[in-house]
Amino acid sequence: MFILITGLLLGGTYALIAMGLNLQYGVARIMNLANGEMLVAGGFAAFWVYTAGQVNPIAALIVVAPLAFAVNWVLYRVMLQPLVTRAKNRGQLETDSILATFGMSFAFVGVMTWVFGGGYFNYAFLAQPFEMFGSSYAQNRIVAFLIATVIAAALWLWLTYSRAGLRMRAVAVNPRSARLVGIDVKATSALAFALGGAITATGGSLISMFFTLDASVGVLFTMKALIIVIMGGVGDIRGTIIAALILGIAETAVARLIDPGLTLAAAYFLFLAVLLFRPQGLFGKKPT
Amino acid sequence: MFRRTLMTTAAVAALAVATLSSASAQSLIRLGAAAPMTGPLAGGATVTHWPAVRLWVSEVNARGGLQLADGPATIELIEYDDQTNPQQAIMAAQRLATQDQVDFMVAPYSTGMNLAAAPVFAQLGYPMITGTAVTDQQPELAQQFPNMFFVLGRTSVMAEDTAHVLVDLRERGEIGNRVALVNVADAFGIEMAGISRSVLESNGFEIVYESSYPLGTQDLAPVIDGAKASNPDAFIAWSYPGDTFALTDQAIVQNFAPHVFFTAVATAFPAYEARFGAAAEGVLGMGGVNADDPAFQAFATAHTELNGQGPDFWASAATYATLEILGQAIEAVGAPDRAAVLTYLQDRSHSYETVLGPVSFNENNDNEAYWTVGQWQDGVFRGVAARGREGAVPVQVFDGWE
């Protein structure tokens, strides 16, 4: 039971890290290597409002999420859309966007170091135990898991049942054909990228409750997010969530039952297995 | 007419300024520093390395500079970010030497970066006084790089003294024999855990739980759960900052409170106390200082005033001391003459007055007097074990997270 719950909580954390990237890569076709930095920026924002104003980091989401949405929208329009416009095919766009966002990640690290300094940031919020089935779990992780569930459910409902969600899925399947049926691909992509950024920053705010962050730590989150998105299947939010949960439970089980030193090995073993037997990801569609 | 006078005056003034500045250029010592501002070790360097370096430069300049044979010389600090990348550290040292033509260089931050930069420091002929390198290879390194000096101490001694703290507590009848030993799976953690294990076992302790976790892991609930299930008297973690915080956090959540709770790097950071407050009381960690020493207190006050943050209770003072040593050697030589300063440093009969107390180097360029283990007591991280330093306080049993 301990393994299952701890694994689920960890999976929730992973889902927060990866859901935003799934939208950005799946719909807007931007392999965003600055994803981790956006997450850390969200965490720093939460840290800052909590320590400066004693504002609850969950309440801070009301500001953090829209702000991240706006920043990412502008980023996409100014920096990434020109790449999309000039790219002749998907391969070229991927190369260009990887290079551009890789550079962007350094710029983000520089800005955050300049504003916040290079030190470690953490704070104590809901760091008390919560008793369940005879074991204790951190309250902040449970809260983060619940919010992750809400975000994931809302996102899935929106993508599945709303008109805008339908447009998103159409663009995810094929941007060229989406245009033929009258979808504004540019606007939809910008929306997806901005929404993805907002979700990532939200995840960062929540994760900052129990992670020690510093300006340079983003790349760790980017790596994790990449694995999860590719495992789950590009462009399907369900795949990301399932992959995140599987990874969380597998890592916890290996850590508790075999050896904590093998968690990374377990994660990459699963990743390899998915790539070997289902290269399009758990929920991905086979390329036609 | 008036205009010509003005022009002349301006020219004379310009000339005077030029002469003045060339005169002051002669009594300016250029000090180069390359250390992490970004990358995995930036967090530690921001706490320990940069503030101490900047403090020393600002204090020396405030008192008029270093006293050389032909008058005082102020210090100009040139800083580079080595991105926690050994290749960048080497390039930065080369650039400081050739492009900026600095007179002296501050040793980099952390054991790994110091080892990486040692050959280039030696090749360029710069004295390298390290304040954040803990290793056991002092004899070999000093042989290979006679310009390299060590202030912070040796790994084996740190691990031995940690084990000896447990031996003391057992002799006092406060703890039993069971030890849970975990470490971060990189060179530092593996080496320290290996030494700890052998010292503990040879002293009759039983290792009831042992595991390692990958670098960068902060989801450590399974580790704490495993350690707790083994019901140990003492918990020892050779950890890095992120995991030090995460382990403590999880131990509080799961109420895992053995009679000894030890985490390694960052336990001595002010941020640890800021994060855990009164709960940190009794936690043991690597390093320590003589917190009651007026020299350290003056250093801490000045550090806080200049940098807006206090020093850590371990390597901050050692980093500052490396520059005190360098400054005293330059003053003794009387000129910013690298070769002469190096010769002075290599004369083992010299002793230096530092914030740590007197420091001298043995035949391995190694300082033999340093702090090894500390403990949070009444909001201060006090040294409880040291080699050759006065002021260690008795170690206390950890009495839970309340």
Asked, for residue B130, whether it belongs to a domain, the answer is yes
Helix (H, G, I), strand (E, B) or coil at B315: helix
- Residues B281 and B335 placed together within one structural domain of the fold: no
- Tokens for B200? 């503990």
Amino acid letter at A230?
Answer: I
- Residues B112 and B253 placed together within one structural domain of the fold: no
Average pLDDT on A135-147 reads 87
Asked, for residue B400, whether it belongs to a domain, the answer is no
Q: Which residue of A has its CA nearest to B183?
A: A261
- Residues B383 and B266 placed together within one structural domain of the fold: yes
Torsions phi, psi for B174 (to 5 deg): -90, -25
- Residues B120 and B110 placed together within one structural domain of the fold: yes
- Tell me the pLDDT band of A279, cut-offs 50, 70 and 90: confident
Quick one: how far is CA A171 from the chain centroid?
A: 20
Of B37, B182, B252, the closest CA to residue A210 belongs to B252
In this complex, is the C-beta atom of A251 within 8 Å of any C-beta atom belonging to chain B?
Answer: yes
Cβ distance B42 to A118 less than 8 Å, yes or no, reads: yes
Is residue B201 within 8 Å of residue B159, measured between CB atoms? no
Asked, for residue B11, whether it belongs to a domain, the answer is no
The pLDDT, as a whole number, for residue A287 is: 59
- Residues B268 and B339 placed together within one structural domain of the fold: no
Q: Which residues of B touch A119 (CB under 8 A)?
A: 43, 46-47, 271, 309
Q: Chain A: give the shortest CA distance to residue B283, in Å.
A: 17
Quick one: how far is CA B58 from the chain centroid?
A: 19
Q: Which residues of A touch B38 (CB under 8 A)?
A: 109-110, 113, 118, 215-216
The CATH number of the domain where B245 resides is what? 3.40.50.2300
- Residues B382 and B340 placed together within one structural domain of the fold: no
- Residues B172 and B274 placed together within one structural domain of the fold: yes
With a cut of 80, say whether residue A32 has pLDDT above it: yes
Q: How many CB atoms lie within 10 A of CB A44?
A: 22
With a cut of 80, say whether residue B14 has pLDDT above it: no
**What would the pLDDT profile of A142-197 be if each residue is shown by its tens digit?**
888 999 999 999 999 998 899 888 888 888 888 888 888 888 888 899 999 999 99
- Residue in B211, B220, B249 closest to A259 by CB: B211
**What would the pLDDT profile of B108-148 be if each residue is shown by its tens digit?**
998 889 999 999 999 999 999 999 998 888 899 999 999 99
Cβ distance A263 to B214 less than 8 Å, yes or no, reads: yes
Asked, for residue B95, whether it belongs to a domain, the answer is yes
Largest CA distance in chain A: 58
Domain that holds residue B53: 25-154+293-371
With a cut of 80, say whether residue B2 has pLDDT above it: no
- Residues B118 and B98 placed together within one structural domain of the fold: yes
Asked, for residue B328, whether it belongs to a domain, the answer is yes
Quick one: how far is CA B328 from the chain centroid?
A: 19
DSSP state for residue B209 in the 8-state scheme = E
Asked, for residue B97, whether it belongs to a domain, the answer is yes
With a cut of 70, say whether residue A78 has pLDDT above it: yes
**What would the pLDDT profile of B219-269 be if each residue is shown by its tens digit?**
888 899 889 999 999 999 999 888 999 999 889 988 899 999 999 989 999
- Dihedral-angle region of residue B52 (phi above 0 means left; psi in -120 to 50 means alpha; beta otherwise): alpha
The pLDDT, as a whole number, for residue B402 is: 76
**Domain range summary for chain A, segments of one domain joined by +:** 20-223
Q: What percent of chain A has pLDDT over 90?
A: 24
Asked, for residue B395, whether it belongs to a domain, the answer is no
Asked, for residue B203, whether it belongs to a domain, the answer is yes
Q: Chain A: give the shortest CA distance to residue B197, in Å.
A: 17
Q: Determine whether B15 is exposed, middle or buried from the number of CB atoms within 10 Å of its CB (0-12, 13-18, 19+).
A: exposed
Tell me the whole-structure pTM to 2 decimals: 0.83
Q: Residues B68-86, buried b or exposed e (16+ Cβ, 10 A)?
A: beeeebbbbbbbbbbbbbb
- Tell me the pLDDT band of B93, cut-offs 50, 70 and 90: very high
With a cut of 80, say whether residue B53 has pLDDT above it: yes
Q: How far apart are CA B265 and CA B286, in angstroms?
A: 6
Is residue A37 within 8 Å of residue A109, measured between CB atoms? yes
Q: Which residues, including other chains, have CB under 8 Å from residue B113's CB and lie 6 or more apart?
A: B35, B36, B41, B82, B84, B86, B89
The pLDDT, as a whole number, for residue B19 is: 45
- Residues B278 and B198 placed together within one structural domain of the fold: yes
The pLDDT, as a whole number, for residue B66 is: 92
The pLDDT, as a whole number, for residue B15 is: 47
Is residue B285 within 8 Å of residue B264, measured between CB atoms? yes
Structural domain total, chain B: 2
Higher pLDDT pick, A90 / B11:
A90
| Best residue of B181, B218, B247 to probe chain A, by most A CBs closer than 10 Å | B218
Of A180, A287, A236, A281, the closest CA to residue A27 belongs to A236
- Tell me the pLDDT band of A3, cut-offs 50, 70 and 90: confident
pLDDT averaged over every residue in chain A = 87
